[in-house]
Amino acid sequence: MSIALACRSCWRRSGDGCEPRTPSISPLNFLPELDGWRDHSPLVGSWGSLQVRHLDFRLQALAKLERGLDTDLADVRTMLERGLVSTAELHDGFVAMRTSLFRFPAVDVARFERRLGDVAGRRPRPDR
């Protein structure tokens, strides 16, 4: 597959082809995976055999909550307002990854959980 780029200055040539100069940074570098994250990654579009997807919005929102910048928290509120994620999905995602967070020592779990509650509210109770 060949991709023509309008600006090649951000790419460098290697023996195997072109590679981005900047490292790939993803929420998966900072938080555990959520089950089914690939299935929850919506398709942006397809061009021949190339598919471009958003990363699972649950992971994006949880990564923003963990980082906790004011702009990140505003982004998560907007994601909730637009229906890209639900409060239940965020709480369920946090619960699912909580037991694996020890592998990410930079994560302050208590602060992360507090931010989740501040932005997404209390965990919804299941219908009885």
Domain range for 106 is 32-120
In contact, 74 and 83? CB cutoff 8 Å:
no
Residue 40, in any domain of the structure = yes
Residue 2, in any domain of the structure = no
Q: Residue 43 pairs with which residues in a beta bridge?
A: 53
Query: Token digits for 90?
Result: 């965020």
Residue 6, in any domain of the structure = no
Residue 72, in any domain of the structure = yes
Question: Model-level pTM?
Answer: 0.75
Rounded to whole angstroms, the Cα distance separating 98 from 123 reads: 14
Total domains in the fold of the chain: 1
Residue 26, in any domain of the structure = no
One digit per residue, pLDDT tens: the chain, 128 residues? 333 333 344 444 555 555 555 566 777 778 988 988 888 888 999 999 988 888 899 999 999 999 999 999 999 999 999 999 999 999 999 999 999 999 999 999 999 999 999 999 987 666 54
What's the confidence (pLDDT) of residue 19? Answer: 59
What is the Cα 53 distance to its own chain's centre?
A: 12
Residue 7, in any domain of the structure = no
Residue 126, in any domain of the structure = no
